[in-house]
Every structure is written in structure tokens, then in C-alpha cells.
Amino acid sequence: MKQPDKLIYVGVDLHKQHHTAVIIDCWSQKLGEIKFDNKPTAFPQLEKEVKKYTKKGISVVYGLEDVGGFGRALAVYLTEKGCWVKEVNAKLANNRRKSHVTIQKSDSWDAECVAKVLRDELYNLPDAKPIDLYWAIGQLVTQRKWQARSLSGMVKRLHQQLGYHYPSYKKFFSEVDGKTALAFWHKYPSPARLSGVEVEELATYLRKLSNYALSTKKAEQILTLIAEDGDTSRDFQDERDFIVISLVRNIRFYERELSRIEREIEGLMKQLGFQLETMTGIEVVTAAELVAEIGDIHRFATPDKLARFAGIAPIAVGSGNKHRNYKSKQGNRELHDIIKALAIRQIAVTRTKKEPRNPYYHAYYEQKMVAGKTKQQAIVCIMRKLVNVIYFLMKTKKAYVIPTVSSHEAA
């Protein structure tokens, strides 16, 4: 562990076009500042500026907020040069800025706040290790989120349009955006297109679409519901039908894109060799989301540091003889939300037999509730346990085994 007076701290405020770096010493005295373009040919300017303040025996540590976004190129450059680079949580730097007597906002001040957080939290911050494989997985995960969001929006709009054309449309199929349903909406975007279509003709069409899962009974039901709804035809019906057909095409497109992205994610995840999917509630997409946010697990010396990074470790507050732990609102909120959703899945029960999906965590949850914890507090306790499990699985690349529950715990 290096002595504080043997270090200088470089905080970098990152932007798409340019970066601003501020250099401070161990006493928070500002030594220098430089603004440079966000491109590899300009990065040596930063090194040249920093060298002015690195006397004999003095080492340099860099602090970057967005090592997976605008700061990735700089992080890669510095790490390849053998520099010591830390990832600074943006929330910590923002809190430092707000805690100042006079709140100000500028690239220079933001960079200085990053440098001060770097100085104070140096050994609690994870190392920035921008490995290309993790970055590529992160990019695919982000792309999938956008595609899923677009798909959800299209399905919502389809619901709206179908409500105009088929008031009882929700009774037609179990899934409005299922394969058979989409084909039906595409061919019959409104009841007007079904004019003259007999029961057997519609039944034949549905049998072919559903691989004989749907029969004449379903065709009769649909036609009966349409008759009960009454005439929904209006002026410009062809244009309204076009909207439904267009939405169906878009939904199919986004579904295909999601499948392609998930195949790419699965291929990259296999290269890492993790077995996160062996745990209850984790499939390949969730595993990829965890990996994208955590990155190289070796950045974290202990599970405690990973918990702090995820904002799951409690914050101890005390005065005199009074001490209390408060929920942390810092850390990586994306990772926090992923682990929270995973914790909720651990205590879920099956729909049919009502059996716990993960008996160990279900029993642990019940224990916490009996002990007087609220539901949210019990879930946070599970989240903290899950951090240990995720850390172990990523560190060892072993498969998950559900711990046995003793009769005392199950009672």
C-alpha cells in the first residue's frame, strides 16, 4: 500500500468530444489542469502534463467515472501503458460537489471532485480493467435493452389499435403477440377483412398456424365474439388496417433482432466459462447483465467490496451510544437492481405445486420475517448473501448447488 504523500491524484471529467483532467496532491492542493480531445492521438498530452508533477518517488493514480462509455478509450490507453487506473462512482463525485459550501458546476470542478474522491476512497474503489470481452458483452446487453423497450412499445400500440377494431380481442388468443396471434392480426387487421370468411376456412388457417393446437372451436369463438362486438368499421379503414399490419411487421422484426442479440450474448458468455445460469433465477441474459456491470471479478479483492460497489452494503451511522445502519443509495444502481430482481426470484414459489424455487433462500427469508424484519429488509439480506454467491461463482467458475435446508430451518 503506497503512502498518501507519495501519490498524486488525477481526476478526469469525461465527455464525448473532450476530457478535462485535474491533478491534486495528498493535501487536495490543485497542481494542474488540462483539457484534451477524446481520441487516442491526444491522450499523450495528459501523460506529458502529469509528468511535470511526478518527482522522484512520486506515483500517479488516475480516476475515471465512465470507463465503459466515453472514458473507455482513455482507460484502455492508460492501462495498456501500465498506469494505475481506478473507477470512480459518479454518485460519489456528485455528492462531493454538492457538499461544498458554494455549489458550482464546471468541467474543471467536476474533475477536481473526482480527484478528491479518488484521494479519499482510493483503496475502496475498484480498478478500471476495460477488457474488450466484457465491454462487448456490455454493449450487447445495452442493445438488447433498447430493442426490448422498442418491442414493448410496439406491443402496447398494437393493443391500442386492436381495441378499436376488435373490442373483445383479448379473448381471441392467450398471447396477443404470440406467433399465431400476430399472423391472424396481419391477415385480418380488422373484422372487415373477415367478411365472408366461414368457420371452416378460418379453422383451417388457424390449424396450420398453430400446428393443430387450435381447432374449429376457436374459429367459432372468434367469429361469435366479433358478431357480439358489432360493426367497428369506420372511414379510412384501409389506413387503419395498415397501421395494424405495420405494427405486426415491426414486432416480428424486433423479436428476430432480440433472438440474434441473445445468440451473440450466449456465444460471448461461453468464452468466459462462467456457470451463473446454474443458479435459480439466472438465465443467459441475466448472467450477461451481471457480467456487464461487474466486469472482471478480480477488480474486487473481497465480496464486501463488490457489495459496496453494488450499493448493497449498509451505511453505519452513529452518535454517542446510538448506532444504526441505513440503506445505501450509492453504488452501481443498475447492478443493485439486477441483484434485487434476482433476490425476489429466489423466494418465489412454483405456480402449480406452490413449492419454493430455492428452498434455502425461501427458508432464510421466512427466518428474517419471523425475526421482525420488513419484507424489504429481508430482501436486502438475501441480496447481500447473493453477492457472496455471485462473487464465488465468478471467481471459481463453478456451478451453483442449492444448499440443503435443515428440518429446523424449514420449520
250-282 confidence digits (pLDDT tens): 999 999 999 999 999 999 999 999 999 999 999
Domain residues of the chain, as ranges? 4-130, 135-267, 273-410
Q: Which CATH class is domain 135-267?
A: mainly alpha
Task: Look at domain 4-130 and name its CATH class.
Answer: alpha beta
pTM above 0.85, yes or no: no
Distance separating alpha carbons of residues 383 and 311, to the nearest angstrom: 10
Q: Which residue has the higher pLDDT, 211 or 33?
A: 33
Quick one: pLDDT band at residue 410, thresholds 50, 70, 90?
very low
CA–CA gap between residue 178 and residue 395 (Å, rounded): 40
Cell 478535462 -> residue: 20
The grid coordinates listed for 172 are 381471441
Per residue in 48-107, pLDDT tens? 999 999 988 899 999 998 887 899 999 999 999 999 999 998 888 888 888 776 667 789
Burial 266-290 (b: 16+ CB within 10 A, else e): beebeebebbbbebbbbeebbbbbb
- What is the spatial distance between Cα 117 and Cα 178, in angstroms, rounded to a whole number? 51
**pLDDT above 60 (res 204):** yes
Which secondary-structure segment (H or E) carries 187? helix 179-187
**Whose CA is closest to 145, among 296, 334, 278?**
334
- For residue 96, what pLDDT is reported? 85
Residue 370 grid cell: 419471523
> Which is nearest to 118 in space by CA: 23, 1, 14?
23
Q: Write down the mean pLDDT value for the chain.
A: 90
Asked if 346 and 334 touch (Cβ cutoff 8 Å), the reply is no
User: Percent of the chain, pLDDT > 90?
Assistant: 73
Q: What is the reported pLDDT for 317?
A: 59
